[in-house]
Amino acid sequence: MTDPRLTPLAAALPATVPFVGPETQERQRGASFRARLGANESVFGPSPRAIQAMADAAAEAWMYPDPESFDLRTALSRHLGVGMGNLVMGAGIDGLLGSLVRLTVAPGDAVVTSDGAYPTFNYHVAGYGGTLHKVPYRDDHEDPDALIARAHDTGAKLIYLSNPDNPMGSWHDADRIARMIEEVPQGCLLVLDEAYLECAPEGTAPPLDPEDTRVVRMRTFSKAYGLAGIRMGYAIGQPDLIAAFGRVRNHFGLSRVSQAGALAALRDQTYLAETVSRIAAARDRIARIGQQNGLTPLPSAANFVALDTGSGDRTRNLLNALTARGIFTRMPGVAPLDRCIRISCGSEDDLDLLADTLPKALTDF
């Protein structure tokens, strides 16, 4: 029975989460995973300096955090070469997407995304009553031309694109993204999700223009920085748009521990570079393991590799077989992307286990 106190919009929504977490699956299985290769976390962990900073900050956890994240924003401002007014912190890109949709999308407003792209964005759009319009991928890439065309056709308020892309790992170069920004319709905003940017080759991201009203860029400490558990992301945009986040954001949503960890991680660029090298080596090994077992790896600029199994049914069977054998993976939910199984970068031990288990799992169905 629906609670009569809910709004009609809330009552019409499913009570769900965009992803089934590995912890949920472990409870269902009654056993822990032997390798956690599905959530695109960094198994290489954060900088030791970040770990120490968070341990030190824990003693001050009795105090409310700085609602302006001043020290972290100051460091990011210097690191990126943008003004303090161009930056807002949030509880990961997920939290920032929720605030942005709340600010810009009224019930019935059109929003454009790719069919199979990051589902948490869709979750927020549905939660605020927006109308999603989806375009297909082209050659395993999100399609800027189709996204822009659909935005023109629908009068969209937002366009979502991730570069590099999740779930396929594909990417566009900086010039292509710059052209897309130039083509954004008047009154529309491009939401450029750059969660995996640190993992990508040089020339993936166009130069920052924080005064450009047509785009907001979102980045995170969850991937290459190895801090997915602290929920720390940031948006870069034109000052008036960034200031508007203050109308709706959770001002005490980022703990003292989270802010201290992110600040220390940002200051340790040497460790970040080492992690990026380890990610690249793990991508190469995942690709080789896939090829040795008759699967085709897609080129990736993220911290995972999509392995083409040939069909959605075969991928589902393989995912279930790997789960039964204690390896957590994921797959895209939409055809034709669902012909791939997505393997996050892991440690040498993780990938040794994958190499041993994958051929066995392929014989389970």
Q: Is residue 115 within 8 Å of 135, Cβ to Cβ?
A: yes
Helix (H) or strand (E) holding 353, with range, is helix 348-361
Tokens encoding 292: 């040795």
Share of the chain above pLDDT 70, in %: 100
Instruction: Note the pLDDT of residue 200.
Output: 98
Look up the pTM and report it.
0.96
Beta strands in the chain (DSSP E): 35-36, 87-90, 110-114, 131-135, 158-162, 189-193, 215-220, 233-236, 296-297, 304-308, 327-328, 340-344
| Percent of the chain surpassing pLDDT 90 | 96
Residue with the two structure tokens 């200051």: 267
Does residue 20 have a pLDDT over 90? no
All domains in the chain, ordered by first residue: 8-45+270-361 (3.90.1150.10), 49-267 (3.40.640.10)
Predicted local confidence at residue 228, as pLDDT: 97
Q: What is the pLDDT of residue 1?
A: 65
Q: Give 153-171 pLDDT, tens digit per residue.
A: 999 999 999 999 999 999 9
The tens digit of pLDDT for each residue in 187-203 reads 999 999 999 999 999 99
pLDDT at site 123: 95
- The pLDDT of residue 263 is 98
**Between 119-127 and 92-104, two packed helices, what is the crossing angle to 10 degrees?**
40
For 36-64, what is the mean pLDDT?
A: 97
pLDDT at 261 over 70: yes
**pLDDT mean across residues, the chain:** 97
pLDDT at 91 over 70: yes
Rounded to an integer, what distance in angstroms lies between the CA atom of residue 332 and that of residue 323?
A: 16
Distances (CA, A) of 266 to 40, 56, 97, 219, 224: 20, 17, 22, 13, 11
Alpha helices in 183-268 (DSSP H): 239-244, 256-267
pLDDT at 66: 97
Average of pLDDT values for 259-271?
98
92: pLDDT confidence band, cut at 50, 70 and 90? very high
Tens of pLDDT, residues 101-152? 999 999 999 999 999 999 999 999 999 999 999 999 999 999 999 999 999 9
Interaxial angle between packed helices 48-58 and 256-267, expressed in degrees from 0 to 180 and rounded to the nearest 10: 150
**What is the DSSP code (8-state) at residue 337?**
G
HSE-up of residue 257 (Cα within 13 Å, Cβ side): 14
Query: Band of the pLDDT at 253, cuts 50, 70, 90?
Result: very high
